[in-house]
Amino acid sequence: MEAKWLKDSLFNGFTSNGWKLGLVLSQGWFWYRIAGVMVLYCGQSMEQIDFANILTLAAKDAGQIQPPVYVKHESGSTYFYVVRMVNNCGDEEQTMSAAVKISLGDDGELKPPRPNGIFELTAKQSLSGKVRLLWFYYPLDQKSAPKSFNIYTNNGTGEVDYENAIGTIDYVGLRFYEYYSMELAAGEYLFAVRAVNAGGIEDESLVRICLGIDTASPQGIEILGSKAI
């Protein structure tokens, strides 16, 4: 716990935070909100939450809290908010237990809940010239449960084609999943796997894996000798 309001009591409480906390009423000499309060912070990432500036506050038992109207949210951006409780003595908790990530689409609206991205994507060429993809899905903190996985490739040229999946694998729980491509010609290929929920909404992972396909046969041995050992 930390009594941060003491730092906002300079100049009789007329700092930005002091004004929001009501310290002006006591001229900064004592904590005014004896019922406690909850405060809201924001940042561009969890590591960049601006805990030096309170966005707004609400009663400790309030069921909701929202940013002030002057705080603008740009389309296609992501924001992180943290709510912290302050007790009747002005001591603020120092946890990240009440944190939320807000992602906005290009239309400025909240993005729909999506499954998590896949974990540990690997690729290996088989003897027949096919590619074996192997990955794992971890459901911890997922916003939406996956129904299946879509597999994408660049077909050996350009960027990955996320409009046309080359295969689909059903999600059946916590396990490793694999996919075998059809036989491929020599070249370098990019592959990507995305989880998709029942509504057809995919995760937004940009993780890709590159694999070079070599269809040439190994060079034969020209000289072979033997000796007793």
Domain range annotation of the chain? 4-103, 119-213
196's tokens:
């998709």
* CATH superfamily of the 119-213 domain: Immunoglobulins (2.60.40.10)
Rounded to two decimals, what is the model's pTM?
0.55
Cβ–Cβ under 8 Å, residues 29 and 6: no
Give the per-residue pLDDT at 17. Answer: 83
Q: How many CA atoms lie within 13 A of 90 on its CB side?
A: 18
- Tell me the CATH class for 4-103: mainly beta
| pLDDT of the residue at 40 | 95
Q: Which residues of the chain have pLDDT under 70?
A: 1-2, 9-14, 215-222, 224
Q: What pLDDT shows up at residue 197?
A: 95
Answer whether 4-103 and 119-213 agree in fold.
yes
CB-hemisphere CA count at 13 Å for 39? 25
